[in-house]
Amino acid sequence: MIKRDKLKPVIEKYKTYFPTYWRNSIDGGESCIWEAVKCFREHWDIDVPDFADMLSQALAKTDSLLNAAHFFAGGMLIAMARAEGKTVRQLFRDLYDDMQDLAQRITDFETAAEKIRAAHDDGTWNSHYQHANAISTYLWLRYPEKYYVYKYTVCHDVAVTLEADFQPKGNSAA
């Protein structure tokens, strides 16, 4: 539960702030992340023969979302798809299966990513980077009307501001 009386002022501040964020944010603004959704939707085809190439094209505009100084989820996922395309394709089929429990789908994706990483680690695959933030990004790219990118700090700040009775989990926890 949240304190609903705290919600209205937050929404009003967001509405005031949004036009500036849309255009001028340090990470490219909200418009850039919606370009990532557009790119993903234009290129996504789970049944294409070269899954790794398609995934590379579909994720081409996600750098600020999936790759950063110490976070390389998008690049690592593409590398895993090159190593085990059929397995990674199935990871996405399972992740996008809304008939299954969401938390379990996220856990299964992360667990399978670790198995692929361990099987193909040549000393450079130190992490698979497929945690809550990255996995929620894949869900959001495919179904932006239903999901959004999980960012622990944002979720935590909102929970504190709205005096929520839950504590969000960090990115390494599903």
The domain segmentation of the chain, as residue ranges, is 4-161
Q: How far is CA 148 from the centre of its chain?
A: 8
**Which among 167, 165, 169 has a CA at the least distance from the CA of 3?**
165
How is residue 122 written in tokens?
Answer: 């040549």
Q: What does the pLDDT read at residue 155?
A: 66
Segments of the chain with pLDDT less than 50:
173-174
**Which among 136, 40, 56, 66 has a CA at the least distance from the CA of 88?**
56
Q: What does the pLDDT read at residue 136?
A: 93
Q: What does the pLDDT read at residue 174?
A: 42
Environment class of 101 (CB within 10 Å of its CB; exposed 0-12, middle 13-18, buried 19+): exposed
Q: What does the pLDDT read at residue 12?
A: 85
The chain-wide mean pLDDT, for the chain, equals: 86
Q: How far is CA 167 from the centre of its chain?
A: 20
